[in-house]
């Protein structure tokens, strides 16, 4: 009895074998044959480390972080900022207010692109 040959899928940027690992699929201009036989037209397969550096995803996450972070900062700290009562706690609260929506948008994009 013969076994079917295992399909090998590679990360397109770094060429790591992601056949049995967590992989992510992004839209884009795929290199023919670079991602393995399961690749569809316009699909880019990436490993975890390459997916975390996917520029279009990071750009969308940054925009979401800026918009949502600004709204949350104004809602939560607006009275303090407009009143001119800048205290030391704002030096860590405001950056975290921008980081949380950025991380949530990035996580959501990665979960939705999981292969």
pTM: 0.79
Sign of the C-alpha dihedral, residues 106, 108, 109, 111? positive
Q: Where are the domains of the chain?
A: 1-51, 54-115
CA torsion angle 47 50 51 56 (round to 10):
-150
Residue 107 backbone class (left: φ over 0; alpha: ψ -120 to 50; beta: rest): alpha
Q: How many CB atoms lie within 10 A of CB 24?
A: 23
Residues 45 and 25: beta-carbon distance below 8 Å:
yes
Residues 6 and 17: beta-carbon distance below 8 Å:
no
CA terminus-to-terminus distance, the chain: 30
What percentage of the chain carries pLDDT values higher than 70? 83
Average confidence (pLDDT) over 16-29: 87
Average confidence (pLDDT) over 15-30: 85
């Amino acid at each position: 009895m013969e076994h079917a040959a295992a399909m090998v899928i590679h990360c397109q940027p770094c060429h790591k074998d992601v056949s049995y690992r967590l992989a992510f699929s992004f839209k884009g201009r795929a290199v023919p044959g670079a991602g393995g036989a399961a690749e569809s037209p316009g699909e880019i397969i990436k490993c975890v480390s390459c997916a975390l550096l996917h520029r279009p995803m990071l750009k969308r996450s940054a925009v979401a972080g800026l918009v949502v972070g600004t709204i949350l900062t104004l809602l939560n700290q607006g009275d303090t900022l407009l009143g001119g009562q800048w205290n030391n706690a704002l030096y860590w609260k405001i950056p975290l207010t921008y980081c949380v929506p950025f991380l949530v948008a990035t996580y959501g994009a990665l979960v939705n692109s999981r292969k």
